[in-house]
Amino acid sequence: MSNSTKPFLRALSGEILTPPPFWLMRQAGRYLPEYRATRTEAGSFLDLCYTPDLAVEVTLQPLRRYGFDAAILFSDILVVPDALGQKVSFKEGEGPVLPPIRSAADLDRLNLSGFHEHLAPVYATMAGLSKAIPATTALIGFAGAPWTVATYMVEGSGSKDFPNAKGMMFSQPELFARLMALLTQATGDYLIRQIDNGAEVIQIFDTWAGALPELEFDKWVIAPTRALVERIRAERPGVPVIGFPRGAGVLYKRYVLETKVDGVSIDSSVPLDWAAAELQPHCTVQGNLDPLLLVAGGEALDAGIDRVLSKLGKGRFIFNLGHGIVPPTPPENVARLAERVKNWKG
């Protein structure tokens, strides 16, 4: 059991709390008018990520409105390749664009020299947040999991079916293994430094985990995540880790058992009864309201919230969405959710 007064940390240590702690992925974002104003002030999205005062401000905005039990560092998973020397830019309406890694020569141009210097503004944001958040709010640091970050690095952009990343994995396994080793090292270094600047919890986002077949899931989702969990436990004991292998289906259970994460975030497709029976006995479960219910609002939202709470609230649980808040979400619907979760009696 945690000796913390923070409900979020207590839930991750195994306590069953009523009501459960809650926060929402992408709780700082475009659905909030104050975020849009700060984003305009920053210039580009990456400028916002690399400007500590503004990144602290957008992290705090949803806390002021809704009283979430956790704040998550405002940044992006692609600051890691950016810091390794693969220039990242975000094009309006297109998303991230990177010069793709397709050969050994491309990979040779990336390295860890100057990595922490490049990410110094992110660490400054974390340090600023640790001083600025309320005393009962937990501070989450995060990174993209190596497989998910690798997909962007090899494709050069977002993708639906990852033909180049999977092509490298299957036809150039040694090159792909080199890329994943670099990412696992860099991600571990990055997360340790976040902890040293105030992160109390780590979340590892493996957004595209569900794209991999079983054997590759074991090799490129489970194994790197287990290595990161083991490193954090060894070097910064006591800092819990939440994994989010989105789309993993029945492989969620193997992921939990083999990575030994303290918590697992589940996407909206995971059956609640199955999660309660197969995942909650092994770790704290976080999730999994459909983000589009938050857009819809009204009675449908209320019923969805109640269903998640009734199915998962009897065990180790943190209320969240099955993925991030989407931009069309009305802020008043988030307020409705916050009030309903806070008032839940079990």
Write out the binding residues for substrate: 26-30, 76, 152, 207, 323
123 is catalytic: no
Please confirm, yes or no, whether 152 is among the known catalytic residues: yes
Per DSSP, helices labelled H in the chain are 7-12, 33-42, 45-49, 52-66, 79-84, 104-108, 115-118, 120-132, 146-155, 163-171, 173-196, 214-217, 223-235, 251-259, 272-278, 291-296, 298-312, 331-342
Q: Identify whether 76 is a catalytic site residue.
A: yes
Q: What is the identity of the amino acid at 324?
A: G
Given 10, 50, 69, 76, the catalytic residue = 76
Q: Is 252 a catalytic residue?
A: no
Considering 35, 50, 123, 152, which one is annotated as catalytic?
A: 152
Phi, psi of 287 (to 5 degrees): 155, -160
Q: Which residues contact residue 85 at a Cβ distance below 8 angstroms, ignoring those fewer than 6 apart?
A: 109, 110, 111
Residue 69 amino acid letter:
D
**Could you tell me which residues are annotated as the binding site?**
26-30, 76, 152, 207, 323
CA distance 137 to 130: 10
Q: Give the 3-state secondary structure of residue 151.
A: helix
Residue 38's Cβ-side half-sphere holds a number of Cα atoms within 13 Å equal to 23
226 is catalytic: no
Catalytic residue among 10, 35, 39, 316: 39
Of 97, 104, 95, nearest to 81 (Cα)? 97
The set of residues, in sequence order, having a beta carbon less than 8 Å from that of 271 and lying 6+ positions away, is: none
* Residues carrying an active site annotation: 26, 30, 39, 76, 152
